[in-house]
Chain A
Amino acid sequence: MRLLRLSLSALLACLAFVSAAQAQLVVDVTEGHLEPLPIAVPDFVGEPGLASERGADIARVVAADLASSGLFAPIDDEAFIERIEDINLRPRFGDWRVINADALVVGSVEVMDDGRLLVAFRLWDTASEQQLTGLRLTSVPENWRRVAHKLADAVYERLTGEKGYFDTRIVYVAESPGDNGIPVRRLAIMDQDGANPSFLTSRNYMALLPNYSPVSQEITYVSFRDGHATSFLYDLESGRQEALFDSGPSLASEGQSLSARYHPQGHVLAVSAERQGNHDIFRFDLRTRQLRQLTNSPANDVEPSYSPDGERLVFSSTRGGSSQLYVMSADGGEAQRITFGEGRYTTPVWSPRGDLIAFTKQHQGMFSLGVVRADGSGDERILYEGFFVDTPAWSPNGRVILFTRGERRSDGTRYEIWSVDLAGFNLRRLPTQGQASDPAWSPLIE
């Protein structure tokens, strides 16, 4: 009898399990979309006057930063239903959902007794009605743009998982008409969004190929004076400049130096230099000013760039015939070829993420900008193709690439700086006045 009862209960349990399992609909969602995230950034609240004006300015810059990434679609203020008056009250989420805002940024600006601004903001998820992040910053009023960039970075990081790149600056070569029709090329610097531009170098000499230190507000660049090129170090905070190769084993006396790239820790440069008509890769220690040769090939080895761990170098070389990309240990030694396509591969730059290397390629009269895996596996991915492409530079988070783009016009080629994201989308021109080239992206400003 007990056996009977056991069997029956086992059977019942079995049936119960089956019906429970049946009631569960299982759906595999294998595809979605990647449309820009609709986000609302109403004016930050503040007392009438400076606070209120800056509140509107900051909201505008935050929205513009986010929109420029191509990942966010700020919603027009006209559509807003709720008027935010106090960021410490929960928003009426229904009012934001109904205008299709997935995220909401609210903020306030207050002028403190010492004249500084106190800016606070909260990022809300309108679906879950949860606060995702909040931040408070103080700053002198003149720095309100940096405050806005920092807020945009915080929003970007919280919603994408990546570090932002809005509180950064870009050094580039600005070209303007000079005497005798010879264009003047000199270094300029601006915020990542084109604001606050100014020149760094004089118009008495040509400056090219700037390269930003990954750890400080310092750049190197190549200056053409007296018939040959010299690498210079430029401290952006003090304005002090120093010729790098004028003492000790001077390259300047033996040949022409070309581009230099920082080691990720900022204490060493990888440079390519010409000696007796042949280019090789060198390592220049900024502390000891010592120069050490890393390659010694009869071919031209140029344009070295460090991996983000500092362990390896990528460079372009003609050792295999046409110019291709090679990777070797940061101390030199055997190099492994990583590109095998047709055409000339040049200007390799290692991504800050470490997995990709950006390059430019020239093939059949066209230039292209592409990325390839650092180990050479898989296919290269072309992000942009055009009449002329050069000098790629990564954003600090490795998601966007700046490059020089040349466009043929009736009056000659016009050079501008453009950006494109890793997927080849969101192609945008940087708002520089006049012609511009050779971008170098700063790290996030501390």
Chain B
Amino acid sequence: MRKVLGIVLSLALHALVLGAGYVYLPSFLKDLESAHIVPIELVTLSSHSNVRASAQTPEPEPEDEPDIDQPIAPEPQPVEEPQPQPEPEPEPEPIPLPPEQQEERAPEPEPEPEPVQSEPEPEPQPQPRQPDPQPEPEPERREPQRPREPSLSDLLNLAQDTAQVARSNNQGETQRQVGAGTANTASARDLMFSQVRRCWREPADMPNPEQLGVTVNIRLERNGTLADAPRLQDENRVMNSSNRYLRIAGERAVRAVLDCQPYHLPPEQYSEWRSVTLNFQLSL
């Protein structure tokens, strides 16, 4: 009996040691790697170079995800035809809208009796010049899904040119280090960061922005789109907060992850970014 117990204990101890190794070793490795990789300037660079690398060097892979690799294909353009605007939209959904906050207002006592002095020529008549909205037509700056053929191929050419120049400039080392996918997790994280930051309206315009940190959890499809609605962590606390700025910070974070999709992340690392936690916390 003692012998059996001894064997069991020994097994359990071994298992624990193995388990501990399994738990801690990867995190050591990860720390070292990310510490090694993440100079901030490189982050943006790496996002571009990684994307470009996977786009331009054909890498025979079967490529089952069309989205990320659309650029490679010399545009046969069957591409999932993203919203040709008129889109019949068979859902004119009749007013489910709640009458929500519809404040009826009293007839407005016509404030302007304008006590202009009984002067002749009373008005300077400054021509109510509206502060020119400077609308900037820019109708398609972001153009999330519409593939614009010419500019896309231009981009590809540009990418190739750039890569060639880079190679001829003997920057191979950097290129390899960044683009070779040696630091997978760090690079997925950096890619994610560099994409989300462009969509996030930071709360720097609100009082005490350092106190407006929020966290959003998302799950992603292989093609970089959201698998389901983003989940604001502690949603009740954030959205019911007496601090209205915190509520708006929560909304802005959710909007950022919605706006930014589809995310362009290395498909071979899908298991790592299938589920992402984004901590939105402005660093001052």
A residues at B contact (CB < 8 Å):
1, 3-4, 7-8, 11, 14-15, 18, 22-35, 37, 60-61, 63-64, 67-68, 71, 73-76, 78-79, 81, 88-90, 92, 94-95, 97-100, 102, 116, 120, 122, 125, 127-128, 131, 133-140, 142-143, 146-147, 159-161, 174, 176, 188-191, 193-203, 217, 236-239, 353, 355, 423, 428, 431-434, 445
Contact = CB atoms under 8 A, between A and B. Distances in A.
A236 to B, nearest CB: 6
Contacts of B112: 143, 196
Given A23-B272, A195-B128, A79 B11 contact: no
B108 A140 contact: yes
Contacts of B189: 25-27
Given A32-B197, A237-B111, 19 more contacts: A26-B189, A29-B193, A30-B281, A60-B130, A67-B133, A67-B135, A76-B135, A99-B139, A100-B139, A128-B251, A128-B255, A134-B97, A140-B110, A147-B108, A160-B205, A190-B126, A196-B128, A197-B125, A353-B207
A18 B282 CA distance: 29
B119 interface: yes
Interface of B: 4-5, 8-9, 11-12, 15-16, 19, 22-23, 26, 83, 85, 87, 89, 91-108, 110-117, 119, 122-144, 146, 185, 188-189, 192-193, 196-202, 204-207, 244-245, 247-248, 251, 253-256, 258-259, 271-283
Contacts of A100: 138-142
A27 B196 contact: yes
A24 B110 contact: no
Query: Can you list the 10 inter-chain pairs with the closest CB atoms, starting with the nearest?
Result: A239-B115, A32-B200, A32-B202, A433-B126, A7-B12, A79-B139, A195-B128, A67-B133, A431-B129, A88-B95
Given A29-B196, A31-B282, A236 B258 contact: no
B258 A202 contact: no
A348 B11 CA distance: 77
Given A7-B15, A89-B92, A133-B101, A25 B202 contact: no
A125 B255 contact: yes
Contacts of B272: 22-23, 25
Contact of B124 (A27, A147, A193, A433): A433
A160 B276 contact: no
A90 B93 contact: yes
A97 B145 CA distance: 11
10 contacts: A27-B196, A29-B193, A33-B202, A64-B133, A74-B135, A128-B255, A139-B108, A143-B110, A160-B205, A237-B111
Nearest to A30: B283
Given A27-B193, A34-B205, A134-B102, A237 B113 contact: yes
B197 A73 contact: no
A89 to B, nearest CB: 5
Contacts of B129: 194, 431
Q: How would you classify the secondary structure of chain B's contact residues: helix, strand, loop or mixed? A: loop
A116 B22 CA distance: 74
Contact of A137 (B105, B258, B276): B105
A203 B275 CA distance: 72
A146 B202 contact: no
Contacts of B8: 1, 3-4, 7
A203 B119 contact: yes
A237 B100 CA distance: 34
Contacts of B23: 14, 18
